[in-house]
Homo-oligomer: A and B are copies of this chain.
Amino acid sequence: MLQYQAPMRDLEFLLFDLFAVESEWRDIPAFADFSADLVRAVVAEGGRLASEVMAPLNQSGDREGAVWAAGSVRTPAGFREAYRALADGGWFGLSGNPAYGGQGMPKLLGCLVEEMFWAANTSLYLYGTLTVGAAICIDAHGSEAQRSLYLPKLYSGTWSGVMALTESHAGSDLGIMRTRAEPRADGTHAITGNKIFITSGDHDMAENIVHLVLARLPDAPPGTRGISLFIVPKFLPDAAGNPGERNRFAVGSIEHKMGIHGSATCVMNYDGATGFLLGEPHQGLAAMFTMMNYERLSVGLQGLGAGELAAQQALRYANERRQGRGPGMSESEKGVPAVGEADLLVAHPDVRRMLLTVRALTEAGRAFAMFAGTQLDRGRYLDDADAQALSELLTPIAKAFLTDRGFECAVLAQQVFGGHGFIREWGVEQIVRDARIAQIYEGTNGIQAMDLIGRKVLRDGGRTLGRLLARMRATPVAESYRAPLAAALDRLERVTRTLLERAPRNASLPGAVATDYLDLAGYAIYAWLWAWMATVAPDDAFGAAKRQTAAFYFSRILPRTLALEASVRGDQAAVTEPLRESL
């Protein structure tokens, strides 16, 4: 009974009112031809595919699950056709390189399309996001021959992509991986090793599956500086670029998981498989990070999509289900509600608190993701180093904060349903199960937090964050938001300065406070976005809802930053000393 509708009105607002893409894109030559009408057509068609083709398979896909049988993976009924619809519509090449069949659309647009696809069917879109990511990686690091061969196949979804990093003993720690790559006389490499948690490692939806595999060359230095990246296709391309000989790798099994049942999470055994070096020897991790940075933002969008899907279910249920009396009735009236007299759930303030929390976090999250998209576009198409640095700062926040808040929203929406939220039939419990993985994979959210504080803030002395703060402060906002927004931004700056001062003297400090610091940054940025959105929102019913949610955000959500500041600035001895065992 999960239903999904693309949030068209909000997208329209964000695209044209808030981010004013028509003027934004006028500055970027590659986008100069994109009209508002074209953008609207793309969004409408993406939304249609999401709600009409992908969403109807979401619950059935969860129930059926991906099945591993006779050595290969069978995806749930309908996935194959839906994947084909996405492929044929050109969606995997939306932001792809036009020289090889991509559509060259802005990342900003890609962000909002991906949110819809994730929301509609997370398991199904996982096959897609890895295809998009593999293409990005090959476009950035491949030879001309590799790009010519693989990109058109990936953009068209004829072939699909896979990222193969994790080994059973090497999860977050890629430096200790063992998979080997032995050079052969013909220039190819023999890849041997076992990988786990390989999403989409096998399936039945594309004629070929292109694995990007991290492995060590014989002369590799130890650690992360000795890792190389290889293209390892399931079927080796023949001279005409068609799938030929079956490569020497196989699925060992697939995992049984809490959620994303329709997605095949594979154990892969590479047994002297033929691999083609992608990029330079020993530079594989950096190359793979091209893909991972895309995937991290994309996984953030998964969290956002989960929140939106959950929000839609909870709002609908709260407007249909009658239970109890809202406040304002006398005690005696409260005692005698006949069936027809019970009020809608939405009449209860505590239910509105949950709905408004979900809305406040989801709508700000959407604006945040699109802001990150604008910076990626500027970095890439204008060679704007500041925008590039800013997008790198925003990536770990997008991955962790969007997924943590997405999970929070899914759990809150489930709570609105009461007991029905726990029952499979209604589908909201699936949203919770599916959303949970987004906080874990693509680098756990703890790793994102350490990336933010270490590599993105401390390393450049807070300069990129300072530029972001300046930009946020320069945004004109309505009078009523000025003081609380300034306080939130001052708080983020103050905490950052403290960390810059204290971190050099305490190596354990950044890790100890990383998660709270990332959350603080996220809530401060959302405050900016809410103040900005409330200021720009039109004077109609849509705008009134925006302003209500903005007011809610400032009075009920933003106070979380008080706790986070105190937590980060407090005494950290209990965390930085070794853990004392209590048993």
Which residues on A are within 8 Å of B, measured CB to CB?
A: 5, 7, 9-10, 166, 169-173, 175-176, 178, 196-197, 221-225, 255-259, 315, 322-324, 326-328, 335-339, 342, 346, 348-356, 359, 363, 407, 411, 414-415, 418-425, 429, 432-433, 436-437, 439-441, 444-446, 449-450, 507-512, 514-516, 541-542, 544-546, 548-549, 551-552, 555-556, 559-567, 570-583
A545-B555 Cα distance, complex, nearest whole Å: 37
Do A507 and B437 form a contact, CB below 8 Å, given A258-B432, A418-B172?
A: no
Contact B548 A176 (CB under 8 A): no
Contacts of A173 in B (CB 8 A): 322-324, 337, 342
Please pick, from B336, B421, B509, the residue contacting A221 in the complex, using a CB distance under 8 A: B336
CA–CA, A368 and B61, complex, Å: 43
* Distance of A533 from chain B, by nearest CB (Å): 11
Report Cα–Cα, A336/B566, bound state, in Å: 36
When distances are taken between beta carbons in the complex, the residues of chain B under 8 Å from A573 are 551
- Docked complex Cα distance between A29 and B64 (Å): 60
Measured CB to CB, the closest approach of chain B to A264, in angstroms, equals 14
Residues of B within 8 A of A363 (CB): 582
Contact of A507 with B328 in the complex, beta carbons under 8 Å: yes
Is there contact, CB below 8 Å, between A415 and B433? Answer: no
Give 18 pairs: A residue, B residue, CB < 8 Å, sorted on A.
A7-B583, A10-B583, A166-B419, A171-B418, A175-B324, A176-B338, A176-B339, A223-B335, A255-B424, A349-B509, A414-B436, A419-B440, A422-B436, A429-B436, A432-B436, A548-B577, A555-B567, A555-B574
Q: How far is the CA of A134 from the CA of B434 in the complex (A)?
A: 37
Which residues of the partner chain B approach A556 to less than 8 Å between Cβ atoms?
Answer: 516, 567, 570, 574-575
Q: Is the CB of A567 within 8 A of B559?
A: yes
Q: How far is the CA of A5 from the CA of B582 in the complex (A)?
A: 13
Judging by beta carbons under 8 Å apart, are A223 and B172 in contact?
A: no
Quote the shortest CB–CB distance from A537 to chain B (angstroms). Answer: 10
Specify the chain B residue showing the minimal Cβ separation from A345: B172
Least CB distance, A309 to chain B, in whole angstroms: 14
Please judge, given known A-B contacts A440-B422, A556-B567, whether A175 and B337 are in contact too, CB under 8 Å: yes
Task: Given A255-B423, A548-B574, output 15 extra A-B contacts at Cβ < 8 Å.
Answer: A175-B337, A197-B419, A258-B433, A259-B422, A327-B510, A328-B508, A350-B512, A350-B514, A350-B515, A355-B579, A542-B582, A549-B574, A551-B571, A559-B562, A561-B563
Contact A327-B508, Cβ < 8 Å, known A415-B440, A552-B575 = yes
With a cutoff of 8 Å between Cβ atoms, the chain B residues found around residue A225 in the complex are 335-336
